[in-house]
């Protein structure tokens, strides 16, 4: 990237970031729909795999993308948030959209964006947000490429999420749990109702095992719009019985392996043995199952099995940065973007499943609006000591307040408050080494935590 392009990219990013942030939600799709209409509705020029849920969306999106690429298709992937570079959100065939194209796309839509916003301001509905602008850019870039299929992750919820102006031929729903209660509701059924909004008429739905209430909400939505659901029934959990039209999916076998795990999966159209997945944790096996079924649904209506060697090659090439990722050795440093109790529960299970440390030290920084106590309670049995810090995010909880909460669970002697993240990481490494060889550091609590630790250790 030459200096001029870098400068122009920075200017465009600053203009986009100056808008309302993605966590400041105005629950409507009217503004982004109006912009896309004047752009010619680019989101309707290719099939879409639409992904919602509470955790696991980005990993699942990456797996779907990898399978489609291995099948020889040109893909667009839209995910959020990003770890380091805003262009991580808009990916063409596995590569970040070029900086020059990102800048051009923004300037192409800018006059129409101004027109739509003028009308919106006159109507009293305000400007488009940071996230809405990026959604419009992503859909436009995908149409211009052009792509054969877009893999799109919601930002939050489903019904009023800006991405929901597209109609997914396949809807993927990862496990639903409590998060963003301010916008989505305080009951899992309420959250499921919001997320069910991505289920469109005639779609094929691929869902993780869900709590009974959430499963019933999804089933009712599918029946209302004539969609078919396939459920992950590995554990015989809610959703498998009385399904709408499709059989059950399952992780038939799973073995921990060096660098990941080996899986046998039952998809919509067949069984797929001996798949190496270079990601850790049982939750990633179930994400892989959803990804496999989604691609079966898209390319063959769920009736034609995929070529086994294609599936093996695709899963072996999957990467998911910031998701239980090793970013340093001696001591081992892991980063994980878990930012709610459900995500932390998956992290805790994966650590027990795939890692053995003589001493485990946590580096924890999170957003002030999250269920901090729920996360700390789950982490307490896992971390021998915890280093409390903060990221550069304006939403980060102050370390002193976070440290006081941590002491309620860990006690005074196991909690260390270090305000600056680089110093906190150094302190955690020292504590991990105190136990001799085999100590480990786990940095978690938010996507910002994972991204900034990656950057500090040269992984950006």
Is residue 407 classed exposed, middle or buried when 0-12, 13-18 and 19+ CB atoms within 10 A define those classes? middle
Q: How far is 180 from 57, CA to CA, in rounded Å?
A: 15
Q: How confident is the model over 320-339, as a mean pLDDT? A: 94
Beta bridge partners of 69: none
Which neighbouring-strand residues pair with 360? 440
First to last CA, the chain: 16
- Contact between 161 and 155 under an 8 Å Cβ cutoff? The reply is yes
Entry pTM:
0.93
Q: What is the pLDDT of residues 256-269, one digit of tens each?
A: 999 999 999 999 99
pLDDT (average), residues 264-281 = 97
Q: What SS3 class is residue 429?
A: helix
Tens digits of residue pLDDT in 421-456: 999 999 999 999 986 678 999 999 999 999 999 999
Q: What is the pLDDT of residues 34-68, one digit of tens each?
A: 999 999 999 999 999 999 999 999 999 999 999 99
Tally the C-alpha atoms within 13 A of residue 102's C-alpha that lie toward its C-beta. Answer: 28
Q: How confident is the model at residue 236 (pLDDT cuts 50, 70, 90)?
A: low
Tens digits of per-residue pLDDT, 366-388? 999 899 999 999 999 999 999 99
CA distances from 380 to 15, 31, 66, 120, 130 (A): 42, 44, 36, 49, 36
Do the Cβ atoms of 234 and 200 come closer than 8 Å?
A: no
Strands 271-277 and 260-266: antiparallel
């Amino acid at each position: 990237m030459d200096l001029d392009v870098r400068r122009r990219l920075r200017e465009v990013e600053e203009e986009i970031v100056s808008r309302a942030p993605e966590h400041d939600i105005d629950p409507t799709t009217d503004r982004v729909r109006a912009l896309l209409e004047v752009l010619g509705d680019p989101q309707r020029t290719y099939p879409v795999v639409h992904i919602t849920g509470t955790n696991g969306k980005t990993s699942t999106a990456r797996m779907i993308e990898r399978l489609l690429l291995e099948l020889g298709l040109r893909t667009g992937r839209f995910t959020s948030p990003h770890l380091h570079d805003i262009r991580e959100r808009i990916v063409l065939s596995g590569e970040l959209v070029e900086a020059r194209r990102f800048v051009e796309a923004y300037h192409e839509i800018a006059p129409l964006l101004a027109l739509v916003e003028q009308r919106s301001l006159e109507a009293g509905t305000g400007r488009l947000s940071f996230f809405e602008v990026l959604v419009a850019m992503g859909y436009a870039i995908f149409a211009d490429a052009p792509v054969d299929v877009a893999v799109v992750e919601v930002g939050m919820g489903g019904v009023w999420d800006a991405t929901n102006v597209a109609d997914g031929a396949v809807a993927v729903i990862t496990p639903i749990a409590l998060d963003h209660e301010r916008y989505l509701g305080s009951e899992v059924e309420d959250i499921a109702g919001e997320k069910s909004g991505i289920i469109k008429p005639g779609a094929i739905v691929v869902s993780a095992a869900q709590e009974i209430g959430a499963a019933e909400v999804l089933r009712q939505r599918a029946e209302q719009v004539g969609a078919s659901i396939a459920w992950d029934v590995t554990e015989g959990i809610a959703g498998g019985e009385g399904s709408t039209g499709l059989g059950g999916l399952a992780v038939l076998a799973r073995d921990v392996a060096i660098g990941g795990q080996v899986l046998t999966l039952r998809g919509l159209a067949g069984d797929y043995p001996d798949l190496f997945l270079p990601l850790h944790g049982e939750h990633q096996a179930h994400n892989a199952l959803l990804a496999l079924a989604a691609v079966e649904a898209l390319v063959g209506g769920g009736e034609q099995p995929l070529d086994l060697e294609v599936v093996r090659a695709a899963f072996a090439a999957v990467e998911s940065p910031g998701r239980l990722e090793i970013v340093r050795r001696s001591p081992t440093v892991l980063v994980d973007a878990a930012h709610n109790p459900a995500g932390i529960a998956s992290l805790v299970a994966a650590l027990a499943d795939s890692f053995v440390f003589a001493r485990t030290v946590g580096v924890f920084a999170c957003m002030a609006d999250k269920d901090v106590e729920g996360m700390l309670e789950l982490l307490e049995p896992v971390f021998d000591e915890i280093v409390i810090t903060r990221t550069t995010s304006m939403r980060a909880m102050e370390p002193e307040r976070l440290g006081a909460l941590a002491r309620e669970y860990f006690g005074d002697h196991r909690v260390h408050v270090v305000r600056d993240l680089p110093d906190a990481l150094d302190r955690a490494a020292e504590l991990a080494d105190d136990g001799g060889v085999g100590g480990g550091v786990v940095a978690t609590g938010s996507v910002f935590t994972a991204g900034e630790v990656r950057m500090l250790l040269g992984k950006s």
